[in-house]
Structure 1
């Protein structure tokens, strides 16, 4: 039996006050996309992903009914969906960065869905992977067993490393690389007064890389500049119950923190991505499973306002870059257009391929 603490940690538990009732309609002639596994816990990166997924689906498929089921309720709703699903309906699985050995419960749920719907197209929104194949108990092996040679399973990964890893280790023709779906999010580009401050979004969890040089840099920055400490994960997530009414508002509020800063310092993937979509300069460090490095090298190397720190043993130039940015003219950059990169994802979800 999985301990309650572990269920909460992985976002797979909630009391009844958090779970929506799902009055899923009976069979219908209208094609549907079922988006399964969206989070209720307050990680703003994951919340931005689910918001972007929903907006993407509604924008690209206005004639289809979009039904979203949070991860807390997936197991409960599988029998209901099984009874009413049409052969032309598509199952979409929530994206993110949890296809690895750190979060096995997420794979457990994905595998359950893949097993249940053998006749429907299943599309995984962009994910990152970092499995350890030397670990014989890795969830990767059961995942591989259930999707290998399935013609109706489409896997999308948000960096070249993840895509190459899966192509090299799973016999599946439908594996693609597209940007993180948050880069499709439409952000209000209205004027926001940038304050002369640095905002830090630094990890405090298992994915954090502890480097003495980075620690000293942060200490120095705290002494010399106006620094506001924040994060893209909310420790007190129960204070922010996510509903369909406040979902977008919560994400926009977090993005406003990026828009109002002159510089971001982060070791979170969505710290970097939120900086990109708000046009905010950022100093970026890698995390333990390298999903930041992999995403940066796949998509973001040419973005002039993102400064990825490759060598944390030699960061003297980082100090000078911070000085340059903080003492220079306040500037908001224009986010690159990533829309053309989602063509394969759109084709997979539309069932035209």
Structure 2
């Protein structure tokens, strides 16, 4: 399957699986006010998906800016941001997610596409027990392995298999930020707790201009989120002002940075899932490597195994 056909099929699946659940206006929580451009791509893709719906997003916030007063007491629909932080590897987002599920049993809650990973199996059982008590909880798995975990341990909730929301980003927006391609090769080596023990540097092709990088937003001495949190920590600034700034400036800055960054390279090797996803959206050949717990390989096997232009290196 070629890039354009694959992108279209994944967008259609997102819409077919999620849109029937959104039957009225809704709110969108746990927005990623941090410097990982991958989460910003999910954020933008989710907003683009909303444009196809007949209902409105009436409130959106991060964990830090969330106001309980913005949630109707008697019910409604809550969407929780997707990504790769469901489980115990990134606990702040998981605690917020579980808190929302406990506090709002009268609401329909939709967890947008997530990769699921627990090191602590007892914690997974505890979370599953809490979620089983919610009468209208819908969980989107981002890959087949996550789907199997959910079906085995979270089977009392409605479980769906849905690709990453970043695939909903349209070509027009990508073209707005992309820059001219060079002859350079990117080796994208993540530097956080998800880095695999395998050495990606040894894959550097000989005789080519190779750059070993991470997302540029994570390499900057002054992170893009600093301005956002300066605003948040100002006692004269409302949380709604922080959300406004994040939506209109912070998000767009990271989008511009990420799309321009990936678009300049002719060839890409990556340990980050969203560099591979962005390469697909930009129709670029990509060599894809796993992260520490198999997130990338399971995503590849679920959605990319019939895609020309993506080579998974085991």
Q: Same fold (TM over 0.5)?
A: yes
2:149 paired residue number: 165
Q: What pairs up with 1:41-80 in 2 under 5 angstroms?
A: 41-57=34-50, 59-74=51-66, 77-78=67-68, 80=69
Of stretches 183-192 and 91-100 in structure 1, the one that deviates more from structure 2 is: 183-192
TM-align CA RMSD? 2.2
Match of 2:114 among 127, 137, 160: 127
Give the structure 2 partner of residue 259 of structure 1: 263
Does the 8 Å contact 1:150/1:172 carry over to 2?
Answer: no
Unaligned segments of structure 1, at least 5 residues: 1-29, 311-353
Deviation of 1:100 (Å): 2.3
Q: Which residue of 1 aligns with 2:238?
A: none
Alpha-carbon distance in 1 for matches of 2:220, 2:126: 34
Q: What displacement does 1:62 show?
A: 4.5
The alignment's TM-score, normalised by the length of structure 1, stands at 0.70
Separation in structure 2 between the aligned mates of residue 237 and residue 164 of structure 1, nearest angstrom:
41
Aligned CA distance change for structure 1 residues 85 and 168 (closer, same or farther; 3 Å): same
Q: 1:244 aligns with which of 239, 244, 247?
A: 247
Structure number with greater CO (CA < 8 Å, separation at least 6) is 2
Q: How far is the alpha carbon of 1:236 from its aligned partner?
A: 3.8
State the partner residue of 2:32: 39
The Cα offsets for residues 46-72 of structure 1, whole Å up to 9 and x where unpaired, read as: 111112112212x12254243111121
Unmatched segments (≥5 aa) in structure 2 = 1-22, 229-245
Q: How far apart, in 2, do the equivalents of 1:281 and 1:56 lie?
A: 26
Q: Does 1:147 pair with 2:147?
A: no
Q: Which moved more, 1:195-204 or 1:157-166?
A: 195-204
Give the C-alpha shift of residue 42 in structure 1: 0.6
The DSSP-based 3-state class of the residue aligned with 2:247 is coil
Are the aligned partners of 1:107 and 1:143 in contact in 2 as well (CA < 8 Å)? no
- Distance verdict in 2 for CA 1:73–1:120, change over 3 Å: same
Q: How far off is 1:85 after superposition?
A: 4.8
- CA displacement at 1:151 relative to structure 2: 3.1
Specify the SS of the correspondent of 1:98. Answer: strand
Structure 1 partner of 2:171: 187
Partner SS, residue 72 of structure 1:
coil
Larger radius of gyration between Structure 1 and Structure 2: 1
User: How many residue pairs were aligned?
Assistant: 268
Alignment TM-score, normalising by the size of structure 2: 0.79
CA positional deviation for 1:86: 5.0
2:298 counterpart (271, 294, 297):
294
Query: 2:187–2:201: 8 Å Cα contact kept in structure 1?
Result: no
Moved more, 246-255 or 292-301: 246-255
